Amino acid sequence: MPHIVIEYAAVLRQQLDIGELVSKVHKGAIASGLFNPDAVKTRAYACDDYLLGQGDANDFIHIRMSIMPGRSDSQKQQLTQSVWQAMSALAADVSCVSVEVAELHQPSYLKQEH
């Protein structure tokens, strides 16, 4: 844990190295010191169809980090800041960048490993 999902405007493929973005976010989560590095999972998905506000912004990055319950607000802020610091320079020209931490519903979460 955590599961990190990066959603981004597909047009950003032309100006950003998405693999580098994934790497920076992944390393930022590890650098937070809150997780076993082997447990961090990061992936990115391009969005071809989206609307942003009144149309003033034309691109975005949204990072959602899903974690198990039990972390304090301070630890969640630490995670957000660590990821932000790791990737913000890369995304400096993106119209809208957001990062969130969400808690999974532990009773309904199922994980199977082989």
Q: Hey, what's the torsion of the CAs at 69, 71, 74, 78, to 10 degrees?
A: -100
The domain limits of the chain are: 3-108
Place of tokens 């650098």: 31
> Quick check: 82 and 28 in contact, CB under 8 A?
yes
pTM as predicted: 0.92
The predicted structure's pLDDT at residue 95: 92
The predicted structure's pLDDT at residue 55: 74
The predicted structure's pLDDT at residue 35: 95
The predicted structure's pLDDT at residue 4: 98
The predicted structure's pLDDT at residue 106: 86
The predicted structure's pLDDT at residue 72: 96
Q: Pick out the chain residues at pLDDT < 70.
A: 57
CATH 1.10.2020.10 for domain 3-108, yes or no, is no
